[in-house]
Amino acid sequence: MKFVFLIPLFPLLGFLFNALVSVRALRRDRAEGRGHGHHAHGVHVEAPRYVGYVAAGSVLLSFVVALAAVLAAHGAPEHTLIETLWTWIPGGPAQTALGPVPFTVDWAYQVDPLSSVMLLVVTFVGFWIHVYSIGYMGHDPGYARYMAYLNLFMFAMLTLVLGANYAVLFVGWEGVGLCSYLLIGFWFEKQSASNAGMKAFIVNRVGDAGFALGIFLIFTT
């Protein structure tokens, strides 16, 4: 039975839920003629408390499933558990330095000794970061948006950790870079935060280019 996919799925569902709450709150504020940020307009909007509970709960569920996956991988051959969900990029033979090889990219997750350690670290630490954020950001007008970004960050990080091939890993890497930009520039009304977010975005793009080049070199050689 496939269940590893649930590890990144729970934070993704949390992101979708909290993003919807954030969008609805933004529309309500605009309909009432209010600003969306207290930094720019002095408006203090109380966000629903359940937003944080949904965000933290989704990561806690990921941690529980991660524990089960680590135990299952420990009893699997070579302590590795590979779960293929679908064929992402079907293709024919590709020419490499070793001759033509079949080129097909599956959307697959892999739990092995290395990813097992990172799975538990990311979900355990990530859960407590969410719990801390409930109190730290609970009275911010962008509370739901912040929690949505955190959940999206968890989804991207877990995709990065679980990716069974370079393509899936690269998607997770790009997602982490995007979420870093969104979180660093969260208070975008402040010029300093906006500048810091843009700087992080540019630096990450430089790293992305090197990462993509390395993937192509590995494939061709």
Q: What is the rounded distance in angstroms from the CA atom of residue 73 to the CA atom of residue 154?
A: 21
The pTM of this model reads 0.83
Q: b/e string for 173-193 if b means 16 or more Cβ within 10 A? A: bbbbbbbbbbebbbbbeeeee
What is residue 35's predicted lDDT score, i.e. its pLDDT? Answer: 52
121 pLDDT more than 90: yes
State the pLDDT confidence band at 187, using cuts at 50, 70 and 90. confident
Q: What is the pLDDT of residues 132-185, one digit of tens each?
A: 999 888 788 888 889 999 999 999 999 999 999 999 999 999 999 889 888 888
In angstroms, how far is CA 94 from the centroid of its own chain? Answer: 31
What is residue 92's predicted lDDT score, i.e. its pLDDT? Answer: 67
Q: What is the rounded distance in angstroms from the CA atom of residue 55 to the CA atom of residue 46?
A: 17
Q: What is the pLDDT of residues 12-31, one digit of tens each?
A: 999 999 999 888 877 777 77
Which two three-digit tokens encode residue 104?
């097909």
